[in-house]
Amino acid sequence: MKTIFEKSNGTDGINLTDEKIDLSFLNDNLTRKEAIGLPQIGELEVMRHYKELSDRNFCIEKGFYPLGSCTMKYNPKVNEFLSALEGFGALHPLSDDEDSQGALELMYNLQEALKTVTGMDAVTLQPSAGAHGELTGMMVIKKYFEVKGDNRKKVIIPDSAHGTNPASAKMCGFDIVEIKSNEKGQVDIDALKSVLDKDVAAIMMTNPNTLGIYEENVLEISELMHTNGSLLYYDGANFNAIMGHTNPKLMGFDVVHLNLHKTMATPHGGGGPGAGPVGVVEHLKEFLPTPIIAFDGNKYYRNYDLKHSIGSVKGFYGNFGVLIRAYAYILMMGKNLKNASENAVLNANYLKEKLKGYFDLPYDEPCMHEFVLSGEKQKHESGVSTLNIAKALMDENTHPPTVYFPLIVHEAIMIEPTESETKEKMDEFVDVMIKIAKEAKENPEKIISAPHTTPIKRVDETQAARHPDLKFTE
């Protein structure tokens, strides 16, 4: 496909005016001396160009999107309408509190709602993604120990954790202590005990963990940690599995982030924008970033007065547009958030049972909202790798699942259907996966050379990630 620059043919898109615009009021050094080389092309051709580009995109509106850990659920369109309301969209972030009562009220109510679902005592909406929430939470933990005069250096992280966990802890200057999972894919209590000493500031856990398995011993773990004077950090990326059934407070966690773009249905394909609010228990309240949105019984205001605040972690309030969408979703769902989690778990277990006869299932346990298959069988039998299977799915109007994560499963295929899919859609996916498993056996070349129907075939994954070339050059 040609770029819009290559399609440029000297046609004027729109004629604003035939008269020369008088720019004499502008200082001479502010006016352009020559054209900047924008493409010259008619309106109809512009429309066709961008429509064709958008048709090449994959999105949840186009097909099944079982990208494990990412919770690609359907994002109701009413959220888009609400976040675009003029009172929100046109509000200047530097407006006074008095002039932004509606927006502040929305943020205050969202903080309260997130306190309710997580069980935490205070929430900041500032962080702009899960990883950013982790960094914020670890900064809170770091400062908490500093203020106590107990400079603990270590953070324990299970080997099933998302890579952002060790990265966030490391950025705060902690040393990472990795512990192995046991044969059930859960934190190994003995491994934990063997590394627990008075230099351990915290453990970072995801529950259900990245294998989609609920950590049965979480209460024992939180007791061990607290007895040792350590804190527990909850990576809430998998919160979609437990809403309204339990919460991180009941499990004994002290600091929590949520990924609103995952759990609370805001669009997040292509890397953002997102929001990663952080909740903390009572004794960590004063460490949160400022401002916190507060209410004095009469009006809403930004409170900068937190004794041990780590400072600001983002300009203004965070990604306000995402916060509006998440709040709308929570209001719309109400108590049904609980059903959403039930259906997410039901859907995942349904797919797991349907597929486990065709692919390896390293941890054959009841799962929560996602599960992890392995492509090892296909790899050994016919040289078809998990990457090949992922590419073959693209030929079937299906977004590939998350692959090669978590790291502890070889040839991992991590599937998360979410609650928004129907049984019919999941049955279609099962058929597609079985077809690919069959083809891998009978005609492996076809899978190994997939995709066959996409505009771009195989890319060099390493080069694409390390040296993306996104410029247009003639």
Footprint on this chain of ligand PLP (rule: CB under 6 A) = 69, 129-131, 162, 164, 206, 210, 235, 237, 259, 274, 276
Q: Which is nearer to ligand PLP, 269 or 444 (CB)?
A: 269
For residue 273, the minimal CB distance to ligand PLP (Å) is 10
Q: Which is nearer to ligand PLP, 104 or 232 (CB)?
A: 232
Q: Which is nearer to ligand PLP, 100 or 259 (CB)?
A: 259
Q: Give me the residue whose beta carbon is nearest to ligand PLP.
A: 130
Which amino acid is located at 17 in the chain? T
For residue 51, the minimal CB distance to ligand PLP (Å) is 29
For residue 363, the minimal CB distance to ligand PLP (Å) is 16
Q: Which is nearer to ligand PLP, 152 or 162 (CB)?
A: 162
Q: How many CB atoms lie within 10 A of CB 30?
A: 7
Q: Which is nearer to ligand PLP, 401 or 451 (CB)?
A: 401
Q: Which is nearer to ligand PLP, 239 or 327 (CB)?
A: 239
For residue 258, the minimal CB distance to ligand PLP (Å) is 10
For residue 88, the minimal CB distance to ligand PLP (Å) is 22
For residue 130, the minimal CB distance to ligand PLP (Å) is 2
